[in-house]
Structure 1
Amino acid sequence: MQSQSVVYLESVSKIYPSAKGEVYAVRDVTIDVQPGEFYSLLGSSGSGKTTTLRMIGGFEIPEYGQVYIGGEAVTTLPPYRRNVHTVFQNYALFPHMTVAENIAYPLTIAKVPRSEIEPQVKESLRMFQIQDFGDRKPSQLSGGQQQRVALARALISRPKVLLLDEPLSALDAKIREEVRQELRELQRQLNLTFIYVTHDQEEALALSDRIAVMHKGKVEQIGTPKEIYNRPASLFVSQFIGKANFLTGTVQQVIDGRAIVSVNNQPIKAVLSDRIPIQPNQTVTLMIRPERIRLNQNTIADNQVKGTIESITYIGQSLQIHAKTDLGMLVVTELYDGGDRSDQNLTLFWNAEDCIVIETKE
């Protein structure tokens, strides 16, 4: 895989000293990023995602493991010797330079002739829709405009890899969504490799070709957004990504990737996660996404349970229904059709494919 990857981390670990001894910020992480891929490192604060990005960029040197870019070992090389560019959370624009000068800076220090720089800067200004701001200073721009300048500067020298460290976190929700869409379209248009750090699961799911979910310095799971969401490989991933119902039960039977799990003496059919070995009599957790549960439908499903409505919350296009059942409280999300739900007694249905068996212990 190393020869095909544009970025390959081989069992890298980063250790920091502390008053209590050594602390692993990143422990034994291996990832491969393919050419033209939008690859996200997703995790909460302290998960190791930014440290991992900094090791790729050359701002941190791992104590163990190797970093490869384009098949070349770059583990100990400084940032300027790597064909990557980093867009930081605070944009890191030069306040004394104009927008055009900021964008031109990578080409200027590379001693590209001025006659070649000017048309490239003009094209970058046009591409990022900031052609009217070339003579302004960064302080005269909005947050979204500054973000576009930072991206234009990062991409003007066409690096092999663009590293982005929480680049949209300082923007308000509406601007963030707009820039997010522009970023994805630009990445596809230019066929560039992006490695993107974020704590925002929605952002990662919307942007990424693949996601590495990190927790306490380790990679919990790597997969496509659909794989991460639909088939979480650990209890942490299932709790961190999206909303879900969790039921605890005992495995009664395991056959061909499926299981029957007893929850409050009721048999529930479920499917196994590929990475989790499950045995009969084992205590496990079942995960069911709220949108996968259907209510009072004349259909055949693998599982069903009677319930009573405890509360209904209106959230725009959908309703969030809390239903009390013999299995425990279940949350159901369904599209709002404009009518009133007056029925207090419900039957809840879901299929085995939508009920995932996860090991109870972390």
Structure 2
Amino acid sequence: MDFEQFLEKNVEISNARIKKLHGFAKKIWNRQKITPIDLHYKCLDTWDKLSKDLDCKILPLVKVNEDRPITNLIFGSGSFTTGKFQAEQYNVVKSYCSEPPIILQGIVSNKSKMHDSNASDISNQFSVPLVELDFIDWYHENIDKNEQNPIRATKYLFGDNEEKPSLPDIARKFSIRQDRYHKILGEEIAHTIKNQTDIVSARGYNFQFCGSMFAHQPNHQPHINDTHPADLSYIDSKSKKKLYAGWQSGAVELMMKDKIHETYRGSFIEVEYMNNFNQINTLDEGVLMGIGKGVTPESDMNLTPTQIQSIMKIMDDYFFCTLEPTGLILLWGVTDRPIPVIYKSKEGKIVIVKQRAVFVGNKFHSGLNAWGSNLDEDMKELQDFIFP
């Protein structure tokens, strides 16, 4: 099978999986006339009962306000491929639901069209507000007009094998991005976007998120999520760090080098706020919220990491990008404190990590048991939960 045939096959599988999400959402919001508040309280009641056995609370991943719609902003920095797909899913939901569970209220980018961002095109295509503050232009106007590469000049995260600047210089770079630039971006968001934001979708945004972006809503920090092109249920048995961190095809390449994977799965993750310089030695990754179906190359195929990642985007990223528009993300809850969660090492050993854990509906879905890879079973659980 050649690559184009393999791609077409996986597009069909992906479309079928996404269609299942829309079909279930249509049943909830249209046929049964359940409201987001109804679903929210059903989850809260269930999580209160489950919490008694866990000695902790299970909190909603997305905060729901009874007085206004649940809102979403999509952030990106470049092509906005996944951001565009997610925006399209909002239109699909509108075709079968007169009062969508979640509203897309804007597109946010740290680059302009002049610097290869498609944010303005997406904003125009879907008739949603655009918040655009080009970091390169901002840097030239406010920091150093002669700097040829402002993004590289403000890099503050370095790998173990990279030469690092002095700590004061790293702190200065951090402050430029997180304190100064993102403060102004946050002011632009506050000026442009009508309602408070409940969900932030990181779809190729190349900076870390921080509280100054939402200083205008200090008592309501949005939930942030992202897709990741590798299976984050694998961790190092000693350090307990994720084995396949990385950007785009680089994460896939790490999986391929281990030569233990027949299927290359993507992940759906919570993103934490990076507000403090002391956080730079930790990933901005929160809980693992889902694992995709993944890409399984045919035995006669010799795919590159880039080819696998491009199909994984269609198979897994697009799938997870449908959870916000359909409102199904409202079924996710997370514990307020760490509890034991099972992961695995590349040697196949079970590794237990204490961390905040995820529930979807009335079922535990953390670590190895993250939601999404076994869709038929996972959807049946939700069917039984909502429509007993």
TM-score w.r.t. structure 1 length?
A: 0.30
Q: Which has the higher contact order (CA 8 A, sep 6+)?
A: 2
Structure with higher Rg: it is 1
Which structure shows the higher helix fraction? 2
TM-score w.r.t. structure 2 length?
A: 0.29
Which structure shows the higher strand fraction? 1
